[in-house]
């Protein structure tokens, strides 16, 4: 009988030990930690024993949790986020994510991504974007740096939210209406594709109506490219941007109806864009629509020169008229 009691007590102790969390008392269901430099051999997402990969941290975190990633370089495959998760790096200068697969971060509704340097090397082919979100609401991508020649830094389709304060090479926005793109630095990356040197498109807007303001877009083939899909026109509101030194066009509106407002139009843009020194011309309107682009600064400083050199529209047989008067003036002239 005594042996039986001892055996039962031992069994209870073993079971209670197995049901407890022996790794760390500082584990929280709302905050998960990731640290590539955790060499303890123990991982549970706690402050003391963080996961060593971001994908593992995200996978083990619940919806709405915050995943805090400590400094280091993380080679990651696909990271699929759950609703409301916040993925926080420790700063783009010291928290690096390198693509190890076909794509990288997949967003869900309510997700945030901030504080990372997200990069890949040119693979010679086009892969999935660095950050992708489809049919998502209230997302936020901010304070990141991208070097991503394989694809778009950011691709959003049928999305709402904010893209703020990032340094990136390209973004593609499709069928998205409630979206703010603000204070980003967008610079093209030279690469050879199909034997041709290309720098990509800064912002490609397809059947979308984002607010685009206070961005600097340069060294791309095309700064902003606007087109429809399935007959749905794009109607972005664009103001206070610098769109300069792009290889072909600062702005290219494709030959379909368009409701873009670059200043003085019905969507409330106040202009203030600096659109200058772009390779072929600053503004190409192939759309049959009349486009408002008032209160902006162009390459040239007189109405005649702006109409002749900087803006290609109905005068050149391209598309609808661009209403650019009044304008603020001209910048330094590098193109004639």
Q: Which of 109, 129, 115 is nearest to 54 (CA)?
A: 115
CA dist., res. 65 & res. 13, Å (int): 33
Q: Which domains does the chain have, with CATH numbers?
A: 25-168 (2.160.20.10), 170-336 (no CATH)
CB 68 within 8 A of CB 32: yes
CA dist., res. 137 & res. 134, Å (int): 9
Show the tokens assigned to 302.
């007189």
CB 210 within 8 A of CB 242: no
Q: What is the pTM of this model?
A: 0.89
- Strands 191-193 and 196-198 come out as antiparallel
Other CB atoms closer than 10 Å to residue 86's CB: what's the count? 18
3-state secondary structure of 98: strand
CA dist., res. 295 & res. 326, Å (int): 6
Phi-psi region of 280 (alpha: psi -120 to 50; beta: other; left: phi over 0): alpha
Q: What mean pLDDT, rounded, does the chain reach? A: 90
Indicate if the alpha-carbon torsion angle 297, 215, 133, 125 is positive or negative: positive
pLDDT at 15: 40
Q: Which of 188, 253, 242 is nearest to 212 (CA)?
A: 242
Q: Which residue has the tokens 């007189």?
A: 302
pLDDT at 11: 43
- Strands 185-187 and 216-218 come out as parallel
pLDDT at 7: 47
Q: Which of 136, 146, 72 is nearest to 104 (CA)?
A: 146
CB 248 within 8 A of CB 222: yes
CA dist., res. 218 & res. 186, Å (int): 6
> pLDDT tens across 65-112, in order?
999 999 999 999 999 999 999 999 999 999 999 998 888 999 999 999
Flag residues of the chain having pLDDT under 50. Answer: 1, 4-23, 336
pLDDT at 122: 72
| Residue 105, φ and ψ in degrees, nearest 5 | -100, 130
CA dist., res. 7 & res. 90, Å (int): 50
Calculate what percentage of the chain has a pLDDT beyond 70: 89
Show the tokens assigned to 220.
């791309």
């Amino acid at each position: 009988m005594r042996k039986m009691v001892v055996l039962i007590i031992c069994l209870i102790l073993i079971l209670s030990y197995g049901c407890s969390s022996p790794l760390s008392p500082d584990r929280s269901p709302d905050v998960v930690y990731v640290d590539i430099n955790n060499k303890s051999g123990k991982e549970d997402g706690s402050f003391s024993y963080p996961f060593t990969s971001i994908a593992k941290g995200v996978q083990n975190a619940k919806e709405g949790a915050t995943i805090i990633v400590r400094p280091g370089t993380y080679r990651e495959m696909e990271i699929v986020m759950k609703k409301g998760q916040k993925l926080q790096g420790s700063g783009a200068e010291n928290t690096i994510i390198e693509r190890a697969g076909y794509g990288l971060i997949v967003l869900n509704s309510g997700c945030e991504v901030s504080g990372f340097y997200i990069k890949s090397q040119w693979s010679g082919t086009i892969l999935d974007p660095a950050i992708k979100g489809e049919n998502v609401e209230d997302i936020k991508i901010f304070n990141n740096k991208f070097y991503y020649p394989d694809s778009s830094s950011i691709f959003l389709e049928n999305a709402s939210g904010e893209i703020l304060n990032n340094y990136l090479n390209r973004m593609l926005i499709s069928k998205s209406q409630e979206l703010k793109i603000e204070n980003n630095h967008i610079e093209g990356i030279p690469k050879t594709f199909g034997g041709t040197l290309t720098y990509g498109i800064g912002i490609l807007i397809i059947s979308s109506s984002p607010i685009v303001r206070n961005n600097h877009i340069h060294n791309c083939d095309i700064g902003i490219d606007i087109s429809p899909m399935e007959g749905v026109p794009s109607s972005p509101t664009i103001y206070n941007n610098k769109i300069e030194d792009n290889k072909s066009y600062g702005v290219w509106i494709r030959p379909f109806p368009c409701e873009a407002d670059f200043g003085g139009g019905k969507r409330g843009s106040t202009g203030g864009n600096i659109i200058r020194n772009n390779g072929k011309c600053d503004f190409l309107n192939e759309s049959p629509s009349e486009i408002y682009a008032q209160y902006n600064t162009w390459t040239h400083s007189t109405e005649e020169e702006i109409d002749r050199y900087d803006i290609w529209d109905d005068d050149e047989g391209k598309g609808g008229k661009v209403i650019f008067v009044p304008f603020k003036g001209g910048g330094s002239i590098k193109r004639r």
